[in-house]
């Protein structure tokens, strides 16, 4: 059974957290009437609004979307026409609608097996796309994030022989950069886990070659190849069967606590990617990745009573809110099912009285 309430109150540490003048945020899960999204979910479900209707992308390898007046009244799945055969299968995991109605999308792509024989290992990549009809037809803009490390056909995690994938994207509050929080399955241990890269807002229509990875305090490594400093590092590499790593980040800006919030899966520590738990972390500043708070667990894997228990995210409840924008109360989803509301709060700073 899912415990009635899980509460996370993060301890503020000056070198690893939020503004030292502000109390840390908290998130609490409380039971709510169950909701199930209208299609198979296999990743982050990106959302955007068009003329008062919520549009939701389904991440399942074969792209579809639903729309409705809100997340509780969505239509059956409708097909998306994606013009790239080269980059199928495709999982659209992030979206942002420009002021003129142009829709930007970002996708996880899994190339056919590169390891030959009966191996089903693949090496994912992250690409960009664009739509001028609200997502009905989508044009490929190419791969923007790709590992520079060699494919490792000896990987024993069961799925990936390296690569970058399982991600989300958010535009910062200054509208300066789109930030990619993604999973790096390749390279040395110190680069594996959840990493970060960014794309200048001005380059949004021409993203190929314009994304830069964060590495050792700088945003200078190319998105295609390049080194990485993991923001939420792995404890054991993905090439092992008993991996121990955060993965599959879902990030949003929360209006109630004035903070970016990321939910994370954690695979540990046996074959088959068992879900050890779901974690949350906060930051006030996306441009300084070292300021993310240490992840805190909000659900244990054994307390998630529907399989597989991956892909945590929120969908905001107010008009205009999405998977990347929410306020004090939002629906919390795991693998396309919501049985909870997420309640975000941030205590007021203590008042010092000077006599």
Indicate if the pLDDT at residue 353 is higher than 70.
no
Distance from C-alpha of 93 to C-alpha of 58, rounded to nearest angstrom? 8
Cis peptide before 114, with omega less than 30 degrees from 0?
no
3-state secondary structure of 291: helix
Determine contact, residues 115/239, Cβ cutoff 8 Å. no
Give me 81's structure tokens: 């026409």
Distance from C-alpha of 66 to C-alpha of 58, rounded to nearest angstrom? 8
Beta bridge partners of 234: none
Q: Compare 92 and 6 and report the one with higher pLDDT.
A: 92
Phi first, then psi: give them for residue 302, nearest 5 degrees: -70, -10
Q: What does the pLDDT look like over 70-81, one tens digit per residue?
A: 999 999 999 999
What local confidence, expressed as pLDDT, does residue 21 receive?
60
Give me 294's structure tokens: 């240490």
Determine contact, residues 292/283, Cβ cutoff 8 Å. yes
Distance from C-alpha of 228 to C-alpha of 230, rounded to nearest angstrom? 6
Determine contact, residues 125/146, Cβ cutoff 8 Å. yes
Q: What does the pLDDT look like over 289-310, one tens digit per residue?
A: 999 999 999 999 988 877 678 9
**Which residues fall within 8 angstroms of residue 17, CB to CB, at 6 or more apart?**
10, 24, 282, 283, 291, 292, 293, 294
Average pLDDT on 211-232 reads 97
End-to-end CA distance of the chain: 53
What local confidence, expressed as pLDDT, does residue 350 receive?
58
What local confidence, expressed as pLDDT, does residue 39 receive?
85
CATH number for the domain whose boundaries are 6-345:
2.115.10.20
Q: What does the pLDDT look like over 120-165, one tens digit per residue?
A: 899 999 999 999 999 999 999 999 999 999 999 999 998 999 999 9
Model pTM? 0.92
Comparing CA positions, the residue from 45, 81, 75, 76 lying closest to residue 62 is 81
Indicate if the pLDDT at residue 318 is higher than 90.
yes
Indicate if the pLDDT at residue 211 is higher than 70.
yes
């Amino acid at each position: 059974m899912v415990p009635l309430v899980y509460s996370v109150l993060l301890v503020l540490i000056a070198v690893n957290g939020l503004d030292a003048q502000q109390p840390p945020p908290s998130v609490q899960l409380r039971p709510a009437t169950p909701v199930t999204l209208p299609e198979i979910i296999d990743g982050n479900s990106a959302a955007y609004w068009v003329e008062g209707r919520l549009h939701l992308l389904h991440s399942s390898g074969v792209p579809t979307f639903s729309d409705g007046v809100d997340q509780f009244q969505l239509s059956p799945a409708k097909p998306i026409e994606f013009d790239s055969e080269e980059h199928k299968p495709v999982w659209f995991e992030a979206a942002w609608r420009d002021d003129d109605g142009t829709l930007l999308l970002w996708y996880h792509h899994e190339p056919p097996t590169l390891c030959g024989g009966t191996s089903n290992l693949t090496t994912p990549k992250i690409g960009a796309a664009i739509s001028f009809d609200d997502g009905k037809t989508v044009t490929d803009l190419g791969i923007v994030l790709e590992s520079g490390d060699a494919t490792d056909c000896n990987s024993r995690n069961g799925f990936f022989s390296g690569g970058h994938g399982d991600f989300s994207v958010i535009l910062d509050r200054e509208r300066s950069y789109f930030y990619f929080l993604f999973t790096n399955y390749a390279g040395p241990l110190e680069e594996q886990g959840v990493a970060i890269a960014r794309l200048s807002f001005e380059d949004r229509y021409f993203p190929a070659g314009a994304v830069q990875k964060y590495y050792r305090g700088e945003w200078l490594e190319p998105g295609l190849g390049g080194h990485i400093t993991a923001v939420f590092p792995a404890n054991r590499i993905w090439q092992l069967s008993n991996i121990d790593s955060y993965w599959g980040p879902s990030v949003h800006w929360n209006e109630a606590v004035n903070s970016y919030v990321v939910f994370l899966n954690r695979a540990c520590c046996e074959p088959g990617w068992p879900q050890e738990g779901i974690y949350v972390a906060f930051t006030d500043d996306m441009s300084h990745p070292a300021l993310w708070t240490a992840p805190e667990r909000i659900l244990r894997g054994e307390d998630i009573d529907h399989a597989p228990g991956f892909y945590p995210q929120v969908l905001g409840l107010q008009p205009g809110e999405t998977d990347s924008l929410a306020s004090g109360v939002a629906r919390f989803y795991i693998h396309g099912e919501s049985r909870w509301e997420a309640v975000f709060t941030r205590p007021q700073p203590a008042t010092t009285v000077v006599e």
